[in-house]
Structures are given as C-alpha cells and as structure tokens.
A and B are shown apart, each in its own frame.
Chain A
Amino acid sequence: MMTDSRLFLVVILVGALLLPLGCGRPPEEVSRRVLTFTDDGPTREIIRFLGKESQLSGYRDFDRSFKGLLVPESLLPFEPFVLGLSTESKVPAVLLLDAPWVQRYGAAGWLYELERTNIFLRNHLAPAVAEAFSVAVPRPGGPPIQELVAVPTQIKGNILFFRQDLLQRYQVPPPRTWEELRAACRKILPLEKSLKHGLLFHYTNFVNDFYPILWGFGGRVIDDRGRLVLHRKGNLSAAVAALSEIRSLQGGIAPGPKELAQFEAPGSLRQAFYRGEALFMINWNTRLNDLKELIRKGEGRSPGALVNLNQVGVAPIPCQTGQPHRYANVGSFGWGVNRFAVTSPEVIADAKRFINLVADVEFQLLAARIQGQVPSLESALKRLEHPEVQQLYRDAFAVTDMRLRARPQSRRVNNTLEKHLLEAINGQRSPEGAFEEIIKELRGLKADD
C-alpha cells in the first residue's frame, strides 16, 4: 500500500506536470522603435566620417537608431512635406528644412517647439541664424513668442565678395552702402584693366540676390505673418528704388542686359571672379570654398586671375544709405521635429539625441573642414581653425548690422518676382512697370490680406 509521503509526492508530481499546461508562449518582443528622418548627402557624408573617426557611439550606431528617408531632388519643387505635415503624418519625424520652409511650417504649427521642450537651446546658436529659424508661436494668455523650431547646421547666406587685394591697394574700405560700392568701382575699375565688371550678380535666380538688396532698402515682400505687403507704399517705393539701383549699375559697373546672358551657366559668376574679371560679386558664402578649390587647382589661370585666397574679401551685401541693417538671404537648412510624430516622451528623447548628433560641435567642425561650412553653434565658431571660414563669419555674418532673413516661402511670389525682375534687368520693363505687373499678378494673394 502506498504510504502518505509517497502519495503526497505523486500529487505534487502530477501538479507539476499539469502546470505547463497553463503556460502559453510568451508574447513576441516588440521591435525597437526607430526614428525616421529626411536623409541628405552632405549629412550622410559627415556621419560616415564621424562614424569612423569619432569616439561617440552615436555616430557608429547611427543607422541602427535612425532610419533615413531619402527625398529625391525632383520632388522638392512640389514641397512634398506640406502634404505629409498638413495631414498629420508621423513620418518623417525629423526633417531637414530650408529656412523659408521652416518659417512656413513653423507658423502653421507643424513643427515642434525646441526650446520649450528642452530639445535644443537657442543660446547655443549664433544669434544671426537663430533668429532665422524661429517663428512667432501663439501663447495662451499672452503675445506670441519667438520660438526656435529648427536647428540650423550651418550659417549660409548670400554675401558680397570683393577683391581684397585691390581694395587694400587703393585704400578703399569694404563698402557698406551702394554709394560706397559705386564709388569704389569708379575709383578702381579705370585703374585695373583686368577688371571687366565692378559687380556681378546672378542672372538666373536673381530674386535670391535681390531680396537682401530690397531688404537693405527697407522694403518687404511679405511680413512676418506671411502676408503680402509689397503693394504697400513704403515697400513698393523701396522695391522700385532697389531695382532702380541695380539698373543704374548695369552697363558701367554691373553687366548690362546684353552681357547678362553669359552668366546664365552654373558657376559662371565664380569663374569670372576667379579669372579676376570682377571687383565685387554677390554670391552664397559657400562659394569661398569653391574659389579656394579653383585657386588650388589653377585651371585656366589667366593674367589677373586669383592666385591666393587672401585676395578675396567678404562683407554683407550693401544697403541703402541711411538704412540700419544689411541683409543676407539665408540659405541654411535646419532640423525640425514633426509635431505629429511626437506621440510619446520617447520620441522627444530620440529627436533630441538625433539633433544633438547632427548639430554637434564635432559634426560642424568637420563640415567646416571638408565642406567649408560656417558652423551655426557658438561653441564650434570659437573652435574654428580654418581661416577662410573664420573670415566668412567674422567679416560677413558676425558684423553687427548684418541680419539673416528668409525669403518668402511662396513659390508663386518668388516665381512672379523672378519673372518680372528679369524683365527689368534685361531692359524690357522699367522698375516701376515690373512691380506694377508683379502686384497685379499677385492680386490673389493680396486679396488674402
């Protein structure tokens, strides 16, 4: 007969055998969350460099934590992000946006505030560029406040390039106003036979060069709320004056209508400047790096061509006499966070980690070294070791009366302006007539006002 203890053991054994029947398979582990971002070539190149060189694990494991979505360049004219953001798409979570888009998307409330949420502090940025990536955000029970909505990775804008060697030779300071520029040209051009032009500006996309000129005359096309204000009296007269100033330079100082065609080709401006044919040139600051490359290679060097980068000086684009500020049309891109992707604190943490990687000091210093970019971080600017980049910041963007401003985001506005401005500088229409046509075409936008 079975003893008590044996019976007890049998019961325990049977119970233990039955136990697994109540245990199902554990649920499968949910895959790890990955932050999506808009991928781009320059960022990818820097990340790859830092992945090899940097001690930070964030760069080595970058692709594990973040999923890049490449945006074909052909789609960019359609503003593909508008559809995504306006319909509250969660992808991509972090976007690299042009400054005008930052203004537009920020004003629409599609971008997440970065300062308030402690993702990135505005005082880490150079003041000039921080302002361009901030928008007025409504505040409950108070006036709107300027809130940083994107973090620029560099300072980029169009500035005035000049022949520093010649200005020093003739003891002419860099011009602050168009009068001073005109005077400098009158003084130097007759004496320097290699110079064909006093001032070069873009023939295609002239509107990008015109905006800082217009702003330097005190005019605006749209206001801070995105409303069209060009038709208002002060703005219209400033616009006509600015265009008239450019028209007046054509022929003697700037290329006339007939000569403009030779500057249609990409890179034609910097090539002419490299050949020593121009005293002044309006162009993006990144062209200094291109000039450096041209000088280093020395291809097609002719008598009078640049042989040393020290021959090149930079300054803000001149303004009208009496105006307090000079302007640059900001061309920087910045990282903004899609508001609709922020569905949990983890997303904020990931976005913060991402932005701190792509806007890191090491990142920007490397970009300055290999791409000639001007860092946007104050701390990176202090550690700059490249004289040409230091020169760009010191002589152009850090000048006290220099302001970076984003052009209007509306392609319709820009395209309309571009079309009629070209007519004006081609001599087909007077400045007054050009702006009359512009205002007429933008009447629909005006009605929105």
Chain B
Amino acid sequence: MKVRFSFPKYTLRSRLFTLVAATFLLCACVILLFFPLLNLTLEGLLDRTIQTMRKSQEAEATTISRLLVLEFSQLNELLLVAPGEENDVDRRIKNLIWQKVTFNEIIEGIELIAGKADPQGRHLTYMFYRREAPELPPMPGPQKVMKQFEGLEKELLDFLNEKHRVDRLLLESVNRGSKKEGEMLLRYLPVHVLMPEEGAIYWGVAKIGIDTATISSLLLLQSQEQQRIRWAIWLEIILSLTVAGLLALGLLSLWARRLTEPLRELGAVSRSLGAVRPREFDLWLENLKRVETQDQAEAADIKNSLIRLGEALPRLGQRLLATERQASLGKVAQRIIPPSHAWITRLLSLETEAQQARQGNGVFRERRRLLTSLDTGWQDLARFGGAPSPTWKMVDLNPGLLSAWRLATLGAPAGTRFIQHIEPLPQVWGSPHDLEHALLYLVEFIGDLAPPEGELALRAESPAEGMVRITFEVSGPPFSLESCQQLLNPLQATSDFRERLGPALAAAVAEQHGGTLEITPRPQGGLVLILALPQAPIRHESFDPYI
C-alpha cells in the first residue's frame, strides 16, 4: 500500500517554518558529513607527518653516523688492529666508542666491524651499547670480540665490504622488526681510514644505533595535537551550526511570519464569516477591507474576491427575502383559492335559492357568513401583500398573528384539528412588515407540513421575563434535532430541507429584532417552532434601528 506523506492541518506559517527547519537540518547533516572527511584528512596529515618525521630522523641518524665515521676515519690505529690479546690500540678504540656512546644521548650503541673475516667468518668487532631498555641487561663496557653475523645483517655487511656502500633495501630490512640490540635505528656505514700517504683505505663497517625515543614522544605529542585539533574543529562546527541555525531559524521565522501575515488575516476574516450575525456583516466587511496585503498579489486577489462576495451577499439576501416572500404569498394565496371558490359557488347557489324564497332568513345569514369569510380571507392575504417599509416602529403582532393563523388554517388538509390559545401580546419594536412576514413564513411552513387528519396548534403568550413568545406545533413524522437545525441552516442542509427557506428567514428576522426562533422535535411527532421576541421598551419609540 502506498503511503502518501501529508502535512497535518497546520498553518502555512508552521509549514514554512517546519520546512525551513527540515532544510536546515538537512544542510547541517551535509555539513557534518565533512567531519568524517576531516578525520580522514587529519589521519592523512598524521601519516604524512609520521613519514616526514621518520625520514627526518633517518636523515639525522645518517648524518650523526656519518660524522662518527668521519671521526673514525682519523683513527689510523684501526689499520693495526688484530685479533688476540688486548693492547693499547684496542684500549684507545674502546675508550673512543665508550665516549661517543656515553656522552651522546642520541647514540645508543656503536660497533666497529673490521672488513676482513677470519676463516670461521667472524669479524673483529669493537662494540658498546648503552642499553637503557629495561628488558636488556647492561653491558659491562666496550667489548673487543670476534663476532659472527647472520642473516640479513651478514648480507648487508658483505655487500658493504665488497661495494663500499650501503644496500638501501637490506638496510631497511635489517631495521624492520625488533632487534637484539634494543629498539633503535641502525645505520651501517663503510669506514675508510684517511692516510695522507696512501689516501682513503677501506677498513670495515661502523654500525651505529640511534635512539628512537625522541620520535616516539614526538609521535605521541603529534597524536595528542591531532586529537585537540579534531575536538576544536568539531566544537567549531557545532558552534557554527548552532549559531547559524539560531540565526537562520530566527530570521526565517520573522520572514515567514511577515510573509504569511496577510494570508493568515484573510483566513481569520474568512473563518469569522460563518459566525457573523447579519447586523455584524458590515463590521465583518470593514474588517476584511482593513486586511493589509503587503503588496502580495495572491493575498490582494483573495481579498478583492472576498470583498466582492461580501458586498454581493446582502443584495443576494434581500433578493432571496423578497423572492421567498412572494413565494410564501403565492402559496398562501393558492391555499385560499379552493375555499374561496367553494364560497363563491355557495353564494351563487344561495342567490338562486333567495330568488325562489324558499329559505328566507337562513339563506341570508349563510350568505352573509360566506361573504364575511371571503372578505376576511382576502383581507388577511392583502395584509401580507403590501410594499416593504424600512421604518421601524412599535408593532402590535396580534392582528398579523391572527391573519396568519387564519390563512394557515384556511388551506389546511381536511380533518386537521386546530388548537389555539392566544393571549393578547404586548407590542414589540421593529419592522412591522418583516415581523408579519416572519409569521407568514412560519404558518406557511407548518401549514404545508401538516398531514391530513393532523393537528395544528398556536399558542401566543407573553411570559413575565419581558418576552413575546409565539409557539406553533404541527403533527407529523418524527424529526431529529439535527434535522431541526438544518431547517435553520438550509444552505448547509441536505437536499430534503434545502428548499425550505421560511424557517431560516423567520429566524433571521427574529434575530434582527433581538429575538430567536427555536425549532425542536414534537414529542408525539412533528415539530415545535417557538418564536421569541423582546417586548418593546418605551424608550425605543423615537429611535431608528442601529444597523
């Protein structure tokens, strides 16, 4: 199943901020990728430094050894040495190498190896090692020995004795791994004794051990320094990212807030449209006009559209009200027509009967009743057909209520039971035209809703709290509370209630006058509609409506 990522319903500002934060984190991760690279670079630097230091130390070792060889080249007695008992020459040579090893911290040991070997392959060797390593026993002093060399060292010495120069590969091989002399860098150099009479005479090989502790300590220092650099750079990266992140998020937050402010305000104004009351509509429109678009084209377009819509809505409402009024009148008129026709037919019949004088007084009374009914019906209808007037004044609802009730009962289905309890109602403050039409919308609605053999009830009363309350009850199928609410919001209702605008218009008129219209289910089935209006205070008599 394909999972599709979607943002929760957050504001555009939150989304922008989240996206910016995510982008910054991504960038930070990319930047942090440099740390492994930095590690690699530092490792490379460390390797190169180690190599350089090793080369430097090797060069230093060679130089020191070369200087020693230069000293040995002045030692003419070397040409006189021979195996056997120790003599003055041996003692002088041993003394010299003791001095060199003892008084030079760099030199760990010296071997002077004569080039010629005896039949057993042993070379006359003068040797002395300082042996500071704890695992090696100290040497009692310089030695004169016949020493036999083996392996790579022997190969190197043979090469040196034959070619009078060092084989680099062999030298490197000899220096690899641990050595019995201790951990030291070994240098093998040919020794020529310089004689003024005979020139440079090859004597043998000087094997010189150079201390490696210096490089070890330097490497340790280097490693510590590398670690310090690594931590410092890591800290700098984190610090930089933190500062950059705070700066970026702070600035971007400001920018995002500023950027989304017009849209946010438009959204808030749009959202408030659902809750705005008709008398607050002009205020809502004014608020909409005050939204600052900050020269954003999209926000300006939305704002202009909303303004146009807002300005059109009242006109549409007026048109809707007028249309619904006409429709209600039409329906009521349509309801009057059948009884009126029946009355007229009866009147014509009574006219005939009167000419025949078969029923003198009785016909006259019935004729008078019919004419009265006909007149009352049309007068009731005419009450609601007048031109609308915007003037507000003290309104007596009683005549209008009776007219409306009569019109409702006039066209009710056959067998409908009418219950009425009408108390004289006090006056209210408002538009007579709108209030009477509100009553007309309600009676037209319940009259239309009443089923055959049903029940229609009207109760008009004035409770003590200063309200005028008019209650209509109509029998019928059971209604839910939701259905009742939909009657008050027909534009959001399902198709069943979409065309029933009467209750909603009546509710709007009631609200315009500070009252309410409640629609609730009737326990026995049907609906109960309660129109409540405030009684008119005396001080309102000389004032116009405030909207």
Interface positions of A (Cβ within 8 A of B): 4, 7, 11, 77-80, 82-83, 85-89, 108-110, 409-412, 415
A411: B residues at CB distance < 8 A:
195, 197-199
**Cβ contacts under 8 Å, B197 to chain A:** 77, 411-412, 415
B246 CB within 8 Å of chain A: no
B383 at the interface (CB under 8 A from A): no
Contact A108 B69 (CB under 8 A): no
Closest residue of chain A to B255, judged by CB? A4
B 157-191 to A, binary, CB cutoff 8 A, 1 in contact else 0: 00000011110000000000000000000000110
Check A108–B196 contact: CB distance below 8 A: no
Residue of B nearest to A447 (CB): B116
Cβ contact within 8 Å between A108 and B164: yes
The answer on a CB contact under 8 Å between A83 and B194 is: yes
Contact status A412-B198, CB under 8 Å: yes
Interface hub of A79, A86, A110, A415 (most chain B Cβ within 10 A): A86
Q: How far is B198's CA from A77's CA once the two chains are assembled, in angstroms?
A: 8
Q: A4-B255, A11-B251, A86-B192 are in contact. Are A108 and B200 (CB under 8 A)?
A: no
Main secondary structure of the interface of A (DSSP, over half): helix
B481 within 8 A of A: no
Return the chain B residue nearest A100 by Cβ: B199
Which residues of B in the span 344-401 have a Cβ within 8 Å of any Cβ on A?
none
Name the contact of A82 in the complex, choosing from B65, B199, B251 (C-beta under 8 A). B199
In addition to A77-B196, A78-B200, A89-B66, 11 A-B residue pairs with Cβ atoms within 8 Å of each other are A4-B255, A11-B251, A77-B197, A82-B192, A82-B199, A88-B165, A108-B164, A109-B165, A409-B199, A411-B199, A415-B197
Contact A87 B255 (CB under 8 A): no
Binary contact track B198-242/A, C-beta < 8 Å → 1, others 0: 111100000000000000000000000000000000000000000
CA–CA, A136 and B309, complex, Å? 109
- B62 interface residue, CB < 8 Å from A? yes
A-B contact pairs, 26 of them (CB 8 A): A7-B251, A77-B199, A78-B194, A78-B196, A78-B199, A79-B194, A82-B192, A83-B66, A83-B69, A83-B70, A83-B200, A85-B165, A86-B165, A87-B62, A87-B66, A87-B189, A87-B190, A88-B62, A88-B165, A89-B66, A109-B165, A410-B199, A411-B198, A412-B198, A412-B201, A415-B197
Contacts of A412 in B (CB 8 A): 197-199, 201
Q: Please, which residues of chain B bring their CB within 8 A of the CB of A80?
A: 194
Least Cβ distance of A261 to chain B in Å?
23
Smallest CB separation, B479 vs chain A (Å): 58
Interface string of B110-154 (1 = CB under 8 A from A): 000000000000000000000000000000000000000000000
Query: In chain B between 38 and 69, which residues have their CB closer than 8 angstroms to a CB of chain A?
Result: 62, 65-66, 69
Closest Cβ–Cβ distance, residue A415 to chain B (whole Å): 6
- Asked whether any CB of chain A lies closer than 8 Å to the CB of B73, the reply is yes
Measured CB to CB, the nearest residue on chain A to B251 is A7
Interface of B is mostly: mixed
Q: Shortest beta-carbon distance, A444 to chain B, in Å?
A: 10
Residues of A within 8 A of B200 (CB): 78-79, 82-83
Which A residues lie within 8 Å of B196 (CB)? 77-78
Q: Within 8 Å CB of B251, what residues of A?
A: 7, 11
Contacts of B166 in A (CB 8 A): 88
Contacts of B198 on A, CB cut-off 8 Å? 410-412, 415
A-B contacts, CB under 8 A, total:
64
- Asked if A86 meets B164 with Cβ closer than 8 Å, knowing A11-B247, A77-B196, the reply is yes
Bound state CA distance, A64 and B518, in angstroms? 112
C-beta contact mask, B59-92 vs A, less than 8 Å → 1, else 0? 0001001100110010000000000000000000
Residues of A within 8 A of B194 (CB): 78-80, 82-83
Measured between beta carbons, the chain A residues less than 8 angstroms from B189 are: 86-87
A335-B540 Cα distance, complex, nearest whole Å: 130
Chain B minimum-CB-distance residue to A7:
B251
A-chain residues with CB within 8 Å of residue B199 when the two chains form the complex: 77-79, 82, 409-412
Whether the pair A109, B163 counts as a contact (CB closer than 8 A) is yes
Question: Which 7 pairs from chain A and chain B are nearest by CB?
Answer: A82-B200, A411-B199, A79-B200, A78-B194, A79-B199, A412-B198, A411-B198
For residue A244, give the distance in angstroms from its CB to the closest CB of chain B: 28
The distance in angstroms between the C-alpha atoms of A114 and B165, with both chains bound, is 20
CA separation between A77 and B195, bound complex, in Å? Answer: 8
A86 to B195, CA, bound (A): 16
Contact, CB under 8 Å: A87 / B164: no
Q: In the assembly, what is the distance between CA of A78 and CA of B73, in Å?
A: 10
CA–CA, A11 and B247, complex, Å? 9
B contact residues around A87 at 8 Å (CB): 62, 65-66, 69, 189-190
Q: How far is the CA of A11 from the CA of B251 in the complex (A)?
A: 10
Q: How far is the CB of A89 from chain B (nearest CB, A)?
A: 6
Give the CA-CA distance A7 to B200 in the complex, in Å.
81
B73: which A residues are within 8 A, CB to CB?
83
User: Smallest CB-CB separation from B259: which chain A residue?
Assistant: A4
Closest CB in chain A relative to B338 CB, distance in Å? 75
Q: Which residues of A contact B195 (CB under 8 A)?
A: 78, 411
The chain A residue sitting closest to B166, CB to CB, is: A88
The residue of chain A having its C-beta at the shortest distance from the C-beta of B67 within the complex is A87
Min CB–CB distance B319 → chain A (angstroms): 47
Minimum Cβ distance to chain A for residue B186 (Å): 15
A179 to B501 Cα, complex, angstroms? 157
Query: Closest residue to B240 on the A side, CB-wise?
Result: A18
A110–B69 alpha-carbon span in the complex (Å): 17
| Chain B residues, Cβ within 8 Å of A415 | 197-198
Measured CA separation A34–B210 after assembly (Å): 30
Task: Name the residue of chain B whose CB is nearest to the CB of A80.
Answer: B194
The minimal Cβ–Cβ distance linking B134 to chain A, given in whole angstroms, is: 33
Q: What is the CA–CA distance of A80 and B196 in the complex, to the nearest angstrom?
A: 11
The complex places the Cα of A11 from the Cα of B254 at a distance, in Å, of 14
**Residue from the set A7, A83, A85, A110 with the largest chain B CB neighbour count within 10 Å:** A83
Specify which of A77, A78, A79, A85 lies most central, judged by the most chain B CB atoms within 10 Å of its CB. Answer: A78
Nearest residue, chain A, Cβ from B236? A22
Bound form: Cα–Cα A109–B165 in Å: 8
Residues of B within 8 A of A88 (CB): 62, 165-166
Q: How far is the CA of A11 from the CA of B194 in the complex (A)?
A: 75
The smallest C-beta distance from A202 to any residue of chain B, in angstroms, reads 19
Minimum CB–CB distance for B405 against chain A, Å: 66
Nearest-Cβ distance from residue B53 to partner chain A, whole angstroms: 18
- The CA of A149 and the CA of B173, in the complex, are separated in Å by 30
Contacts of B69 in A (CB 8 A): 83, 87
Contacts of A410 in B (CB 8 A): 198-199
B79 to chain A, nearest CB (A): 10
Closest to A411 in B: B199
Considering only residues 246-300 of chain B, those with a C-beta below 8 Å from chain A are: 247, 251, 255, 258
CA distance A235 to B142 in the complex (A): 47
Cα distance A89–B163 when bound, in Å? 16
Contacts of B258 in A (CB 8 A): 4
**Min CB gap B262→A, angstroms:** 15
Bound form: Cα–Cα A110–B258 in Å: 81
- On chain B, the residues within 8 Å of A11 by CB distance are 247, 251
A residues in contact with B163, CB < 8 Å: 108-109
A4 to B189, CA, bound (A): 75
**B169 → chain A closest CB, angstroms:** 14
Give bound CA distance, A110 to B247, whole Å: 67
Cβ distance A302 to chain B, nearest Cβ, rounded Å:
40
Distance (whole angstroms) from the CB of A7 to the closest CB of chain B:
7
Q: How far is the CB of A233 from chain B (nearest CB, A)?
A: 27
Alpha-carbon distance between A78 and B194 when the two chains are bound, in angstroms? 5
Q: Does A83 lie within 8 Å of B62, measured CB to CB?
A: no
Contacts of B65 in A (CB 8 A): 87
Residues of chain A within 8 A of B247, CB atoms compared: 11
On whether A108 and B165 interact (CB within 8 A), knowing A77-B199, A88-B62, A411-B198, the answer reads yes
What's the nearest-Cβ distance from chain A to residue B359, in Å? 97
For the complex formed, measure the closest distance between the CB of A14 and the CB atoms of chain B, giving whole angstroms: 9
Closest to B168 in A: A88
A79 — which chain B residues lie within 8 A by C-beta?
A: 192, 194, 199-200
Cα(A86)–Cα(B69), bound, Å: 10
Q: Which residue of A lies closest to B160 (CB)?
A: A86
Q: How far is the CA of A272 from the CA of B255 in the complex (A)?
A: 110
